[in-house]
Structure 1
């Protein structure tokens, strides 16, 4: 349970660039994935840059959490993905297990 709190804290601490992420999510350009990362629903170079930046920072946080808790990176990513998808507001995109994007 402790590492779950760490995932939540790490995800919330990503607000340093949340404005760009939130705008892109509200515009339907970026969505949350089951692996705890974001993906481009539709995009261009700017969207790809945001996705790459967010995912690099998330992976750094997830690796740190995995190391501190003795949990595998894949488990941390899976839990973060579940939390992020649950917290995604209606109208924004989430990726289904089969890879399709769906508006929540």
Structure 2
């Protein structure tokens, strides 16, 4: 019984071997980059990368909406300012979007 329990624990642990991707690690690996619209983009799409991009962008969109409402401006105005700031803060060697869908290393 103990052996079966140990085997089940190992199998369970193996099923979660791919952990949720960290944003900074994904940027450093060149998997994601900052887009000109203020949102994160997938440089090298995969299911895991796309899930991370979706999660980050949902949070950003909510924050942009909150700021737009607070300052009585459009979400697009907020996201444009956020894009400039995010791109300026992007580290050398990480990706930024130079034009829609075109990625370059900073």
**What is the count of residue pairs matched by the alignment?**
86
Separation in 1, partners of 2:45, 2:73: 33
Q: Secondary structure at the match of 2:73?
A: coil
Deviation at 1:97, TM superposition (A): 2.6
Which residue pairs with 2:55 in the alignment?
Answer: 53
Separation in 1, partners of 2:48, 2:77: 30
Which residue pairs with 1:79 in the alignment?
Answer: 81
Task: Identify the structure with bigger relative contact order (alpha carbons < 8 Å, sequence gap 6+).
Answer: 1
The one of 22, 31, 39 aligned to 1:20: 22
Q: Secondary structure at the match of 1:82?
A: helix
Q: How does 1:23-102 map to 2 (within 5 A)?
A: 23-102=25-104
After superposing on structure 2, the runs of 4+ consecutive aligned residues of structure 1 that deviate more than 3 Å are: none
Q: Secondary structure at the match of 2:22?
A: helix
Separation in 1, partners of 2:25, 2:52: 11
Q: If the length of structure 2 is used for normalisation, what is the TM-score?
A: 0.78
C-alpha RMSD over aligned residues: 1.1
CA displacement, residues 18-76 of structure 1 (integer Å, 9 cap, x when unaligned): x8100000000000011110000002100000000000000000000000000101000
Separation in 1, partners of 2:59, 2:100: 25
Structure 2: gaps spanning 5 or more residues: 1-20
Q: If the length of structure 1 is used for normalisation, what is the TM-score?
A: 0.80
